[in-house]
Structure 1
């Protein structure tokens, strides 16, 4: 797995931390990975084509 560094507003990190504390995710990294997976799923049609990809 590759490491990615990014900046996120403190309020959003606080919300992620709250989800971790409530047990929705085991840690912040998994919460962020889950969000990325959801974003990719939202932008992928049934054929597997990415909606943002240029053809």
Structure 2
């Protein structure tokens, strides 16, 4: 895994469904419209990578 949390081989994705406030979705859509992320899913994956990287030592 590199510093951005990307593995050399494509890791299989699983579907995770959860509820978030409408304002979160609107903000995600704004980030996508600004071109910062190609999709809501990628923005959420980036946020999860950052969170998991921050707390990875505690999770083991």
Measured against the shorter chain, the TM-score band is 0.7 to 0.9
- Unpaired runs of 5+ residues, structure 1, are 45-49
Structure with larger Rg:
1
Greater RCO (Cα-Cα under 8 Å, separation 6 or more): 2
Which consecutive unaligned segments of at least 5 residues does structure 2 have? Answer: 1-12
TM-score normalised over the length of structure 2: 0.74
- Write the distance in 1 (CA, Å) between the matches of 2:43 and 2:59: 23
**Runs of 4+, deviation exceeding 4 Å:** none
